[in-house]
Chains A and B, each alone.
Chain A
Amino acid sequence: MAATRIEVPRSAIAITLNGERTAVEVDNRTSLLDLLREQLGLTGAKKGCDHGQCGACTVLVDSRRVNACLTLAVTLDGAEIHTIEGLSDGGELHPVQRAFLERDAFQCGYCTPGQICSAVGAIREAKDGWPSHVTEDLSAAAVVLDDEEVRERMSGNLCRCGAYANIVPAVLDAAGEGSDDGTDLPRREEFHPIPSVEEVAG
């Protein structure tokens, strides 16, 4: 008996990925995360929980941070997507990437691409004046980021190494605000010079 071939519905989409127009055909079930990792070879965004609970898959769609694991690729025709691979500008690291290096804001690194993309989105949201759960005065037009604000705004990104103590100051550095946690952690550059992208990429 010949094996029955099951036709799985597929769709063609075109996205702008890290500035480059990319046309692909996807199984309708494919998440943006699987499209990036399995079809397009961009393995920066990580699959942690695949349920929108850990944030390791965070990328920017039309400049907003989202969970790539809960985003169906088929819905993204025409969308502009930025992943961790597209954040640096030539050889120049993105300020958030640089701050994560300077503050040694990671240990194993698995959650880091998601943390960094999420921080880029969160800093933009704060600059746009979006309040958070811990914002005292909802009527204030401008948001002042501090440790508590950053912890709340970054709560969608879990770090099982527990590098939060350095992630919070890194995000504040990148946002142009000082950390008020009083710990005054040493900066990584005091131990090691910060490598260029070329050096990191080997």
Chain B
Amino acid sequence: MKPFEYERADDVAGAVATLERDPDAKYLAGGTNLVDLMRLRVETPSRLVDVNRLDLGGIVVEADGAVRIGAAVRNSDLAADPVIRERYPVLSRALLSAASGQLRNMASVGGNLLQRTRCVYFMDSSKPCNKREPGSGCPAIVGVSRELAILGASEHCIATHPGDMAVALTALDAIVHFETAAGPDSLPMSGFHRLPGDDPSRDTNLPPGALITSVEVPPLSFGGRSTYRKARDRRSYAFALASVAAALDVEDGIIRDLRIAVGAVSHKPWRATVAEELLRGSPATPDRFEAAIRAELDIARPTEQNAFKIPLVTRLVVGVLDELAHP
């Protein structure tokens, strides 16, 4: 690991000012991804600004019914929170399907949003990778791509966002609040992560040096009727091959409203807007579910190794919506 300076931030403004002064510095929260990447020499920060002692905790129900989650809240605490379990089971389920008990006790909400791809070429500093070293090439496209993107990839990068929590937050239209030297600002989850395009080095649209302070989940009348399903190579403690976060509002067999987001298929959690549009007002039947997700996946461009994700996502979505339609 490359040597680095360490400082414990006392307040948000001070933490942001440090990164403004030293662009090679990084914030440290749970460290579950960053420390590992530093050990692999994928990340080589000059300085770590420890944000764990900042006042960024708490899960608060606001006057308008939204739930504000502090950026430092640990994944385990968020998953177990009674309000989250009742109002947004999809979020609890997504968190509980991720990592291990130990890692969930460490990982923060803010850090989880910023976790890097698990593409094997990105993680191996001896290999070319446009995300880690812009312009060096992407060996994944013709290489080991089984776990990588089928939607929204580019000729420069086919990495996926590997997380589960962000998929649920995308389905829930959450808003990410952050602080920069210019003051507070926010991004909706739909615009938080980005597609790789010709600059895969950037995972998100967060401005440089921004510190995530909280995540706001707006009220959702049918949020209680939501869930998360994840397909992976082993039954526990593995990244998704594909996952689905969904919420469904059905009356008399007709879909009034719904949310679908798909994970591990793109550089960002993929909100299935085409499928949602087709299903709003339609009967809640498996054949409609299947037609809708097939339309969504029409633009999928898989590699030979990950073409299995198309039928996998199709079955996951049909299965999850059918389960939600018949509680």
Contact = CB atoms under 8 A, between A and B. Distances in A.
A65 to B, nearest CB: 5
Nearest to B35: A70
Interface string A1-12: 000001011010
B236 interface: yes
Contacts of B106: 66-67, 70-71
Nearest to A28: B6
Interface residues of A, number: 43
Interface in B82-129: 85-86, 89, 92-93, 96-97, 99-103, 105-106
B81 to A, nearest CB: 10
Nearest to B1: A29
Contacts of A28: 3-6, 48
A139 B5 contact: no
A65 B39 contact: no
Contacts of A156: 99-103, 237
A72 B28 contact: yes
Interface in A151-174: 151-157
A151 B236 contact: yes
Nearest to B80: A130
B169 to A, nearest CB: 17
A20 B236 CA distance: 36
Interface in A112-166: 118, 121-122, 125, 128-133, 135, 138-139, 151-157
Nearest to A135: B96
B52 interface: yes
A80 interface: no
B3 A128 contact: no
A103 B105 CA distance: 28
Contacts of B79: 130-131
The size class of the interface chain B forms with chain A is 35 or more
Nearest to B50: A75
A77 B8 CA distance: 10
A81 interface: no
Contacts of A155: 100-101, 235-237
Given A9-B4, A28-B48, A58 B102 contact: yes
Given A29-B3, A156-B100, A51 B36 contact: yes
A66 B75 CA distance: 13
Contact of A8 (B3, B96, B100, B237): B3
A55 B106 CA distance: 13
A131 B101 contact: no
Nearest to B106: A66
